[in-house]
Amino acid sequence: MTWRRVAVVGAGAFGTALALVAARAGCAVILWGRDSQHMQRLAETRENATHLPGAHLPTSILATPDASRVGGADIVLMAVPAQATRAALRALSGHLRTGAPVVACAKGIERGTGKLQSSIIAELVPDAVSAVLSGPGFAEEIAAGLPTAVTIASVDMAVAERLCASLSTDAFRPYASDDLVGVELGGAIKNVLAIACGIVAGRGLGESARAALIARGLAEMMRLGVTLGARPETFMGLSGLGDLVLTATSRQSRNLAFGTAIARGESLRDLLADGAPLVEGALSAGIAAELAVRHGVDIPIVAAVAALVEGRVGVDEAIAGLVNRPLRRETD
């Protein structure tokens, strides 16, 4: 049995791409956003010209700013930015169908609370089965129907599998997992590592250094994750390694661009100012480094990014932390 009525919360690029996926999988889709003008334009033009130009929205997608329409859905995909999830769930309060799975599709740790997306969902919608969709996927590529494989995780494996079956098409392949912590943590840490890769790229340190950083960074992600109860194999999968490779090697990544800008001497204060594009990895670095200290885990690359972002070290000192590790056995 698959779910046939899907609500997507957030009508940016990724939300619109997910609405297209659900429609192609045969679902009736409510695409909800707060901005009534934006939603009206989507409904009239059948296109999200602002965020995802070129993709035609079929009639099975209803674009609306009416929160009550979300209540008609069997499952809810949360596709607003990670820092806006709490506000969006508040706006939908009282409108969600009781017990409907709520799937976090954004990645990131909440500023102030340090909470992962699934914890915010659990806090605000306690009766929902919370789940996470994560993996290497660009909205533009998903919308264009290019092959994309992602992980959908829930503590209830049957829910994860049913979500996968509901959203699967020939091009969009979700794989089920019950390792919610591992999938979410991978999504948060990979942004930190992308900043590190950006720093190495910005200083012209070469492709070999970046590849080594990805390998050693994945090991850090895994060490921290396993300590927090995740399974090691999750980090080797789509939501861990897959997403890390995409974020750390693609010019489309905001975290990578941020690292590159720092390494080229741009001002940290300007890059992190209010109003500048939010860099999830800069936010997650400190929280992850703190978690690692609390649990006695050694994650030097993440710690170097955190120290840099917090202004405790300069770029050169951070780079020394990234590439000049002492000689040890690799698996230490």
Does position 323 interact with a second copy (CB under 8 A)? The reply is yes
Q: Single out the residue of 87, 215, 276, 293 in contact with a second copy (rule: CB under 8 A).
A: 215
Does position 331 interact with a second copy (CB under 8 A)? The reply is yes
* Cα–Cα dist 210/249, whole Å: 9
CB of 10 to a second copy, least distance (A): 19
| Span of 29-37, 61-69, 232-240, 287-295 interacting with a second copy by CB under 8 A | 232-240
Strand partners for 102: 76, 130
Does position 206 interact with a second copy (CB under 8 A)? The reply is yes
Q: Among residues 65 and 259, whose Cβ is nearest to a second copy?
A: 259
Under 8 Å between Cβ of 188 and 181: no
Q: Single out the residue of 25, 52, 73, 176 in contact with a second copy (rule: CB under 8 A).
A: 176
Q: Among residues 86 and 210, whose Cβ is nearest to a second copy?
A: 210
CB of 231 to a second copy, least distance (A): 8
Active site members: 190
Does position 21 interact with a second copy (CB under 8 A)? The reply is no
Under 8 Å between Cβ of 128 and 99: yes
Does position 151 interact with a second copy (CB under 8 A)? The reply is yes
* Cα–Cα dist 247/281, whole Å: 11
Buried b (16+ CB within 10 A) or exposed e, 247-272: bbbeeebbbbbbbbbbbeeeebeebb
Axis crossing angle, helix 315-323 with helix 207-227, rounded to the nearest 10 = 80
51 to 70, contacts with a second copy by CB under 8 A?
none
Reference 35, options 7, 63, 60, 62; nearest CA is 63
Number of residues that bind a second copy (CB under 8 A): 58
CB of 154 to a second copy, least distance (A): 12
CB of 148 to a second copy, least distance (A): 5
Does position 294 interact with a second copy (CB under 8 A)? The reply is no
CB of 310 to a second copy, least distance (A): 24
| Span of 61-69, 108-116, 234-242, 299-307 interacting with a second copy by CB under 8 A | 234-242
Q: Single out the residue of 44, 90, 94, 170 in contact with a second copy (rule: CB under 8 A).
A: 170
Does position 241 interact with a second copy (CB under 8 A)? The reply is yes
Contacts 24+ apart (CB under 8 A), 314-322: 315/199, 315/203, 315/262, 315/263, 315/265, 318/199, 319/199, 319/200, 319/203, 319/205, 319/263, 322/196, 322/199, 322/200, 322/213
| Span of 3-11, 23-31, 163-171, 309-317 interacting with a second copy by CB under 8 A | 163-171
CB of 237 to a second copy, least distance (A): 5
Q: Taking the CB of residue 229, how many other CB atoms lie within 10 A of it? A: 11
Q: Among residues 121 and 205, whose Cβ is nearest to a second copy?
A: 205
CB of 238 to a second copy, least distance (A): 5
**DSSP per residue over 87-152, as a string?**
HHHHHTTTTSPTT--EEE-S--PPTTT---HHHHHHHH-TTSPEEEEESS--HHHHHTT--EEEEE
* Cα–Cα dist 102/161, whole Å: 14
> Residue 36 is which amino acid?
S
Q: Taking the CB of residue 22, how many other CB atoms lie within 10 A of it? A: 29
Q: Which residues bind to a second copy, rule: CB under 8 A?
A: 135-138, 141-142, 144, 146-149, 151, 161, 164-165, 168, 170, 173-177, 205-212, 214-216, 218-219, 222, 233-234, 236-238, 240-243, 245-246, 249-250, 252, 323-325, 327-331
